Amino acid sequence: MLFQSAPATTDANPKWIQHADASGRTIFADFIGLPGQVTLLCELPVSGRLENCTVASATPEGVGHEAVALDAAKTARMSPKIVGGEATPTTVRFTMNFPEAAPFPPYKSPEPSDEALALARPIAARILAGQGSGRIVADVAADRQALVQSWIDELLPVDSEADLRRVSLQLARTMTTEQLTNIAAGKPPGGTVPDFVTLNAAQDPDPRRTAAADELRRRYCAQFDCRDPFEKKGP
């Protein structure tokens, strides 16, 4: 459906009807604690749907915020530019901010039953098998992935049992026994399925992963640009 044009005597610049949702996250940037900022340049036809968006700039580059911003732009809507009362195609430029992810608060809800943990374990095993070892670097620029993956292999060697316990606990803490039973039987879980944030908020602190993330950030920022776009300059 096209937006109606303004009265013939009115000129108007595009306005947001639905902002691009910047809540999407990148696994790598969140893992090592890198905030980001991305500026997009998009075509805006009279339909109000952004098209042919390209990245005008990103700070820092190559950690995945660009892809998240481009994906978010697909859901955005703007009113058209009005010139002489007529809706007119134009281009728009806007910036999306990705602040450093806040630490998850300690889990304080009731602990899952042994039954729920037993149901969650084979589901967690399937999830981990599907993720593979390159999940953390999937968002990183292609020409950096091999180096970053070698650091991860060194700093965070695979501990299958620890990972299985961690993901099983996340699932059992955030899903009902009925949902877990349905998934185990190959059925839709039903009800509200936990999102990425909810799942990650349901894990216990892991000193091993924290130490690895800190060292990975140190190495990455020594090799590549890690500028903080929100860092205050001057007094």
pLDDT in tens, 102-155: 787 888 889 999 999 999 999 999 988 877 656 789 889 999 999 999 999 999
| C-alpha closest to that of 91 among 41, 47, 17 | 41
Phi, psi dihedral angles at 132 (to 5 degrees):
70, 180
Confidence at 233, pLDDT banded by 50, 70, 90? low
For residue 194 the two structure tokens come to 């936990």
From residue 71, give the alpha-carbon distance in Å to each of 14, 43, 53, 201: 20, 15, 10, 24
13: CB partners within 8 A, 6+ apart: 81, 82
Kindly state the average pLDDT of the residues 42-61: 96
**Whether 40 contacts 53, CB under 8 Å:** yes
Domains and CATH numbers, the chain: 16-98 (3.30.2420.10), 114-223 (no CATH)
Q: Considering only residues 103 and 51, tell me which one the structure prediction assigns the higher pLDDT.
A: 51
> pTM of whole model > 0.95?
no
CA distance 76 to 72: 7
